[in-house]
Amino acid sequence: MPIMISGIPVEVCKKNIKNMHLYVKPPNGKVTVSAPLTMSDETIERFVRTKASWVKRQMEKFEAQPRQSERKYISGETLYVWGKQYFLQVEYGSENSLVLSGDRAILTVRESSAAGQRDNFIREWYRSILKKEIKRLLPKWEERTGLVCNAWQTKYMTTRWGTCNIQKKKIWLNLQLAKKTPDCLEYVILHELLHFVEKHHNDVFISLMDKYMPYWREIKRALNGQILDFME
Ligand SMILES: [Zn+2]
């Protein structure tokens, strides 16, 4: 059970540790305190109370951050596909589908489906269009750089656009790249491929980026300014 401090629920987590630690975690500003196993609830509460104004400041920071709101998948909501904005038009049917037409994204779902089920369907739809583009673009960058990727996967991530395993020469690409302009996907593919020859973001790495994609800085700036999905 969380304890309440100035109206803020604080999760208490007792662990085999020496000191108390207080965390305010993204994306919602959830407050957690970890405390030694033997510490009394009163002592924990007193500790958190002395930090109440710090906690509030941290929570305000999270609230000020731009974040895509949680979706309900109802008409009028917006959907981004390859950097273009579409307005959702929800229709009911027996089979799920998503069709882009002009500036509309026509989503057909079962009327009884929950937001979570619609969420899953859209996620898998993004995965399918992203996979198609990766199949087209990865060989292009492998050819240009002479580097070979042994395996790749799409993955829903909330903190990074791509990641790799250098030993296995494997790349993971964030599903949300299907929402961004296609040059973002190319940039992340190239970035991860180049890690196969240079692990760190050092001068060697940067000169390779410059060589293959002289305009990579603009793309990076645009990507970093964009919002990653809300996720619990
Ligand atoms: Zn990197």
- CATH number, residue 180: 3.30.2010.10
Model confidence, pTM = 0.68
Q: How far is the CA of 37 from the centre of ligand 1 (A)?
A: 39
Q: How far is the CA of 191 from the centre of ligand 1 (A)?
A: 6
Q: How far is the CA of 201 from the centre of ligand 1 (A)?
A: 6
C-alpha span between 225 and 220 (Å, rounded): 9
Q: Could you identify the residue written with the tokens 């296995």?
A: 168
Q: How far is the CA of 166 from the centre of ligand 1 (A)?
A: 11
Least confident of 20-34, 65-79, 184-198: 65-79
Boundary (domain end) residue, out of 64, 81, 101: 64
**Angle between the N-to-C axes of helices 203-212 and 115-145, in degrees from 0 to 180, rounded to the nearest 10:** 90
Q: How far is the CA of 140 from the centre of ligand 1 (A)?
A: 20
Predicted confidence (pLDDT) at residue 118 exceeds the cutoff of 60: yes
Q: How far is the CA of 79 from the centre of ligand 1 (A)?
A: 28
Q: Is residue 169, in this structure, part of any structural domain at all?
A: yes
Looking at per-residue confidence, does 22 or 129 come out higher?
Answer: 129
Q: How far is the CA of 163 from the centre of ligand 1 (A)?
A: 7
C-alpha span between 130 and 143 (Å, rounded): 20
Q: How far is the CA of 217 from the centre of ligand 1 (A)?
A: 13
The total of structural domains in the chain comes to 2
Q: Could you identify the residue written with the tokens 């739809």?
A: 125
Q: Is residue 154, in this structure, part of any structural domain at all?
A: yes
C-alpha span between 199 and 157 (Å, rounded): 21
State the residue range of the domain holding 40: 3-64
Q: How many Cβ atoms sit within 10 Å of the Cβ of residue 153?
A: 10
Least confident of 76-80, 165-169, 225-229: 225-229
Q: Is residue 196, in this structure, part of any structural domain at all?
A: yes
Q: How far is the CA of 193 from the centre of ligand 1 (A)?
A: 9
Boundary (domain end) residue, out of 45, 64, 83: 64
Q: Is residue 100, in this structure, part of any structural domain at all?
A: no
Q: How far is the CA of 160 from the centre of ligand 1 (A)?
A: 10
Q: Which residues pair with 171 in a beta bridge?
A: 152, 164
Q: Are 8 and 60 in contact (CB under 8 A)?
A: no
**How many C-alpha atoms does 10 have within 13 Å on its Cβ side?**
27
**How many C-alpha atoms does 22 have within 13 Å on its Cβ side?**
20
Looking at per-residue confidence, does 213 or 113 come out higher?
Answer: 213
Least confident of 24-28, 89-93, 167-171: 24-28
Boundary (domain end) residue, out of 46, 64, 82: 64
Please name the residues in contact with 110: beta carbons below 8 A apart, sequence gap of 6 or more: 92, 93, 94, 96
Q: How far is the CA of 137 from the centre of ligand 1 (A)?
A: 18
Q: Across the chain, what does the average pLDDT equal? A: 87
Q: How far is the CA of 57 from the centre of ligand 1 (A)?
A: 31
Mean pLDDT of 5-24: 84
